[in-house]
Amino acid sequence: MKLRRFTVVAVAAAAVAATLNVVPASAGPTTKPADQSLRAAAARHNLYIGTAVDSTALNDAADPKYRELVKSQFSSVTAENVMKWESLEPTRGTYNWAPADELIAFAKANHQLVRGHVLVWHNQLPAWLTEGVADGSISKTELREILKNHITNVVKHFKGKIWQWDVVNEAASDPWDSPSTIHYKGFWAQNLGEGYIADAFRWARAADPKALLFYNDYNLEAFGDGGPSDKVQFIYNFVKKLKADGVPIDGIGAQGHLGTQYGNYDVFQVSDMLKRFTDLGLAAAFTEVDVRSYTATVADSNELNPRLQASAYNHSVLLQACLLNPKCLSFTLWGVSDNHSWVPTWFTDPPEGLATVYDETYQPKKAYFQLKADLFLAGPPYVQPRVPVKPNKGR
Ligand code: G3I
């Protein structure tokens, strides 16, 4: 009878330990896990770790390492460009699905989830659309119909294959814009007014009832002073209103484009930001993480090392904040390696780069090892609960 009770308790304890991914403290130090990839490390937390994928690089037979890293290190992918409007519908009414379909097939073959990027954005729109609006041949009423059709066609085409959609991207202005009071900016707000945002979410939901629908933006990593120039507060207020109005929004995407020249974030500052959004009933994700640096003087190793350290630190702050919040579902890097990063072509004066976790020859950098350490060391079985120690009384 006693033995039976013990067995029941032991079995129950083992079941709880298995659920919690805990090994008993007596198991002692663990050895390195066999699968050392980022995706294996993130899987311990049910976290998806992703990358933006440059389809040209993915299909470049002369560059096999790129494809190998996307497969082996990441559990989620985002199309860096091939799901944007200018790529999907370069000519009015003629869709070019092939590059995006290929990426989705690649993801399926490699057991990866797909973030859809992006349905509504003011950049990378096809010329037929922007020019038609500019010359008056597309009216405002027709523009709204065009947007509805685009969202409906695209979401239906990929229905069931997209985990999270960036439905609306970068709708809010920045404090350095004029006026500095944060406002709805860009092509869509100018032509349709702010109502396009709620419409876009409703149209996306009608086309796919199961995809998670995100609002995505940059410089969202920490709340400011809560005043009229605080972009995070502005976005918080509007997504709160979207929720209150019954708009089908599921998540907030913080892009996470950081720069070492701007100093270091603090993990609690970032986790506070996430918590305020997830307390609204939203999921969260880091969607485009990279940490760039000035590169003009980095031939000097005394200059390079502090920048690599600062990059690793800031990558880590975002990841740790995500790990602290159970509703932070995914952590996506914006590019695999420095030879396929958007940064050097966009920031040229002064030149910037070094933004990703692999260098130009695919050597992992400090940031890569730091992300992996964060993922492996966060919680059991590698970090055990502290064991109380009693004073040694002697004999
Ligand atoms: O495909 C053309 C090619 O045919 C042409 O020869 C070449 C010459 O300029 O340009 C190619 O297009 C470029 C495209 O990337 C694909 O490489 C565009 O010029 C270039 O502007 C475009 O840049 C992309 C940028 O968005 C555009 O806004 C970057 O790759 C992409 O990383 C970047 O991603 C954005 C996110 O979508 C939203 N958040 C910010 C993030 C960084 O800007």
| The ligand 1 atom nearest the CA atom of 117 | 37
Is ligand 1 within 6 A of the CB of residue 124?
A: yes
Task: Report all structural domains of the chain as residue ranges with CATH numbers, in order of start.
Answer: 6-377 (3.20.20.80)
CA 79 – ligand 1 centroid, Å: 11
Whole-Å CA distances, 311 to 289, 308, 334, 366: 11, 5, 14, 8
Please tell me the predicted confidence (pLDDT) of residue 208. Answer: 98
11-27 exposure pattern, b = at least 16 Cβ within 10 A, e = fewer: eeeeeeeeeeebeeeee
Residue from 80, 89, 288, 352 carrying the catalytic annotation: 288
pLDDT at 30: 59
Active site residue 170: yes
Separation of 345 CA from ligand 1 center, angstroms?
A: 9
| Residue that has been written with the tokens 């305020």 in this structure | 276
pLDDT for the residue numbered 300: 77
Position 292 scores a pLDDT of 98
pTM for this structure?
0.91
**Sequence-ordered alpha helix ranges (H) in the chain:** 2-19, 38-43, 55-58, 64-73, 85-88, 98-109, 127-134, 140-157, 186-192, 195-207, 231-244, 267-278, 301-324, 343-346, 366-377
Model pLDDT, residue 11: 38
Question: How many A from CA of 342 to the centre of ligand 1?
Answer: 7
User: CA 230 to CA 235: how far, in whole Å?
Assistant: 9
User: What is the model's pLDDT at position 113?
Assistant: 98
Q: CA-CA distance, 24 to 206, in Å (whole number)? A: 48
Q: Quick one: pLDDT at residue 20?
A: 36
Question: Could you give the CA distance from residue 284 to residue 126 in angstroms, rounded to a whole number?
Answer: 30
Return the pLDDT at 31.
Answer: 65
Q: What is the pLDDT of residue 14?
A: 39
Those residues of the chain that have pLDDT short of 70 are: 1-31
Query: Quick one: tokens of 264?
Result: 């270091």
Which two structure tokens, joined as six digits, stand for 256? 């996470």
Q: What is the CA(152)–ligand 1 centre distance, in A?
A: 24
Alpha carbons 140 and 370: distance in angstroms, whole number: 49
Q: Is the CB of 81 under 6 A from ligand 1?
A: yes
Q: What percent of the chain has pLDDT over 90?
A: 84
The residue to mutate among 123, 338, 339, having the most atoms of ligand 1 within 8 angstroms of its beta carbon, is 123
